[in-house]
């Protein structure tokens, strides 16, 4: 993909469905009784991997033009898959489905692509084993994972990482345990599982950074309307702020407090972002946004805000390049275990364009007021890296090429069409 420098961005975009919420709607719909109808589902490759896994586990899932129907079979209705479950590139699929599979009376094996096979699974193997799950992984940490039948016990688990995937995995296993299960985390990670599972009928109690789930609920099918994904909106939030003379309207952006860190961080940098039409969609807060070119200044982000913007940090780093002063990102070591090592990949690729950006063990130091030139850039098959580099390329003095950019299909299949629709070449 060739990206031309842009003179300005103008227009209105309807933000595609949230990836995290789309995954959960299929998973919870599959283990609920009755037919769950899903609107605004994200047709990204990761969510399609979740659909394929549940089809292999015996669930009938119908794809229609404007909705999906999941014919759920209840908590104990899944059937053994005839083959290995392929989670593709999706960490969310791999880790959440493991919690459900730990509670089944049959053995399952799951794996995914080259990137998934490098991502750490010890973080779910350990708590699942504490629940007496029978789970084996390559080198005790990697896919393929094999999960065999066992009788699960509820636990009180203090997670060393703020990870919604770990939290959700343990809570889902907790549905099948003998006694209640509690998960506490060091900082609050996204809470879509808690919100949506409660709406499906699970009994969930929350207190500060801990969540307790009670076993064996009657989950009932429901209608889900998936809000737009702030992680996808983030690319256009940053692009609209850094390209001069721009004004974008982003419609239907999810602003759940556990996901809105990018909005708060960009506002703290002086970004002109106005949220209006605030409403609630399926238990999730949503708004429309106006984004206008802004004079940004560097900030430090660290601590509790980090998990609320973890996937948006590559895009945030691009905004920091065009702020006055230095931006520091700390406490974001988790970036090293995503689809790529996002600290190293961003520093390396932005460096090729002339950026002054230094990796830290747990973040980056980014010098602002950058002048970037075009370059041939590698996505490392990481969708967030491909799209963040495309945004940086809008501000370069010459065109850039992004290699292996098809990976955007994972979370935002129409990204390049949307970018073309709102940008005017310099």
Rounded to an integer, what distance in angstroms lies between the CA atom of residue 342 and that of residue 382?
Answer: 9
Is 91 a binding residue for ligand PEP by CB under 6 A? The answer is yes
Rounded to an integer, what distance in angstroms lies between the CA atom of residue 49 and that of residue 46?
Answer: 5
CB of 336 to ligand S3P, least distance (A): 11
Is the N-terminal amide bond of 144 cis, ω within 30° of 0?
yes
Pairing of strands 156-158, 142-148: unpaired
CB of 96 to ligand S3P, least distance (A): 7
Q: Is 168 annotated as a binding residue?
A: no
- Restricting to residues 15-54, name those near ligand PEP by CB under 6 A: 19, 46
Q: With beta carbons less than 8 A apart as the criterion, state whether 219 and 75 touch.
A: yes
Q: Is 119 annotated as a binding residue?
A: yes
Q: With beta carbons less than 8 A apart as the criterion, state whether 30 and 426 touch.
A: no
Q: With beta carbons less than 8 A apart as the criterion, state whether 276 and 290 touch.
A: yes
CB of 301 to ligand S3P, least distance (A): 16
- Taking CB atoms, the residue at the shortest distance from ligand PEP is 91
Is 112 a binding residue for ligand PEP by CB under 6 A? The answer is no
Binding range to ligand S3P, per CB under 6 A, among 72-80, 160-168, 261-269, 351-359: 160-168
Question: Phi first, then psi: what are they for 32, rounded to 5°?
Answer: -100, 165
Q: With beta carbons less than 8 A apart as the criterion, state whether 53 and 97 touch.
A: yes
Decide which of ligand PEP, ligand S3P, none touches 45; Cβ closer than 5 to 8 Å per partner kind.
Answer: none
Query: How many of the other CB atoms lie within 10 Å of CB of 21?
Result: 31
80: its two tokens: 């053994």
50's enclosing H/E stretch is helix 45-56
Question: For this structure, is 311 an active site residue?
Answer: yes
Decide which of ligand PEP, ligand S3P, none touches 181; Cβ closer than 5 to 8 Å per partner kind.
Answer: none
- Restricting to residues 319-338, name those near ligand PEP by CB under 6 A: 338
Strand partners, 212: 182, 205
Q: Is 342 annotated as a binding residue?
A: yes
Is 165 a binding residue for ligand S3P by CB under 6 A? The answer is yes
Q: Is 279 annotated as a binding residue?
A: no
Q: Compute how many residues bind ligand S3P; rule: CB under 6 A.
A: 12
Interface ranges with ligand PEP (CB under 6 A): 19, 46, 90-92, 311, 338-339, 384, 411
Interface ranges with ligand S3P (CB under 6 A): 20, 91-92, 163-165, 168, 189-190, 310-311, 334
Question: Annotated catalytic sites, by residue?
Answer: 311
């Amino acid at each position: 993909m060739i990206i031309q420098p842009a003179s300005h961005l103008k227009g209105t975009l309807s933000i595609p469905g949230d990836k995290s919420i789309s995954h959960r709607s299929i998973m919870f719909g599959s283990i609920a009784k009755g037919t769950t109808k899903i609107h605004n589902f994200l047709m990204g490759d990761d969510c399609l991997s979740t659909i394929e896994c549940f089809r292999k586990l015996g669930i009938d899932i119908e794809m229609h033009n404007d909705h999906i129907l999941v014919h759920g079979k209840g908590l104990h209705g899944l059937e053994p898959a005839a083959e290995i479950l392929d989670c593709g590139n999706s960490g969310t699929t791999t880790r959440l489905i493991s919690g459900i599979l730990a509670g089944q009376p049959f053995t399952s094996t799951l794996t995914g692509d080259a990137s998934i096979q490098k991502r750490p699974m010890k973080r779910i193997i350990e708590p699942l084993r504490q629940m007496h799950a029978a789970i084996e992984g390559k080198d005790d940490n990697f896919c393929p994972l094999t999960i065999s039948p066992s009788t699960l016990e509820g636990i009180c688990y203090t997670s060393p990482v703020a990870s919604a995937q770990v939290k959700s995995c343990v809570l889902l296993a907790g549905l099948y345990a003998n006694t209640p299960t509690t998960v506490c985390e060091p900082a609050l990670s996204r809470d879509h599982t808690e919100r949506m599972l409660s709406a499906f009928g699970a009994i969930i109690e929350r207190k500060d950074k801990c969540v307790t789930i009670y076993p064996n609920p009657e989950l009932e099918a429901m209608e889900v309307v998936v809000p737009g994904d702030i992680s996808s909106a983030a690319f256009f939030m940053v692009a609209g702020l850094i390209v001069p003379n721009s004004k974008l309207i982003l419609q239907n952006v999810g602003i759940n407090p556990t996901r809105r860190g990018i909005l708060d961080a960009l506002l703290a940098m002086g970004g002109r972002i106005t949220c209006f039409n605030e409403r609630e969609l399926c238990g999730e807060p949503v708004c429309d946004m106006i984004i206008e070119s802004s004079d940004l200044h560097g900030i430090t982000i660290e601590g509790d805000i980090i998990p609320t913007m973890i996937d948006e940090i590559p895009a945030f780093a691009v905004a920091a390049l065009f702020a006055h002063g230095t931006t520091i990102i700390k406490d974001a070591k988790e970036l090293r275990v995503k689809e790529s090592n996002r600290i190293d990949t961003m520093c390396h690729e932005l460096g090729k364009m002339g950026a002054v950006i230094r990796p830290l063990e747990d973040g980056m130091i980014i010098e602002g007021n950058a002048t970037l030139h075009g370059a041939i850039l590698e996505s490392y098959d990481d969708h967030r890296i491909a799209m963040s580099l495309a945004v940086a390329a809008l501000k370069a003095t010459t065109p850039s090429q992004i290699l292996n950019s098809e990976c955007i299909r994972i979370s935002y299949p129409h990204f390049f069409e949307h970018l073309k629709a709102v940008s005017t070449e310099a």
